[in-house]
Amino acid sequence: MRRAGRKLTHVDGSGRLRMVDVGGKQRVRRTAVAEGFIRLAPATRRLLRAAALPKGDVRAAAEIAGIQAAKRTAELVPLCHVLPLEDVQVRLTPAPGGLRAVSRVTCTAKTGVEMEALTAVAVALLTVYDMCKAVDADMRIEGIRLLEKRKGDGEAADRVG
């Protein structure tokens, strides 16, 4: 099967899903950066700034949850490879209308870390949602996307978003 001139790597010749065999590939340093946003009510943003939410430090909990999620991506996404992650950074920062989550994941492996970066952002934002749902019924998670992927130390990044 082909899509836009490229062979779909997770589908075999008879159309069945399969995990891609990366055994013949070289290990290369790889980095991916992803982002997402959670829209919060003004009152929720004030509670966050004052560190007054009932469940505690939302940003710290969400950042840790994102790191944990990146490390467990292969357990959550069926066709992902287990990767030896070397660094996972997740940061939540105030942005107009809510919080922006950004993850950066690095490893030296035979396949990329895009899914780990996206999973980190998604779970970080879900954690914010969980910790704020008692005070904000109208939250919206938006715009989760891959911003950049890099293969090799010296190569220019592929800007995705």
- 128: three-class secondary structure by DSSP: helix
Residue 158 is among the residues annotated as catalytic for this protein: no
Rounded distance between C-alpha atoms, residue 44 and residue 118, angstroms: 25
Rounded distance between C-alpha atoms, residue 96 and residue 29, angstroms: 34
Which is catalytic among the residues 12, 21, 57, 130? 130
Beta strand 85-95 with 98-109 is antiparallel
Rounded distance between C-alpha atoms, residue 134 and residue 69, angstroms: 23
Rounded distance between C-alpha atoms, residue 140 and residue 129, angstroms: 8
| Residues 39, 143 contacting (CB under 8 angstroms) | no
| Other CB atoms within 10 Å distance of the CB of residue 133 | 12
- 34: three-class secondary structure by DSSP: strand
Residues carrying an active site annotation: 130
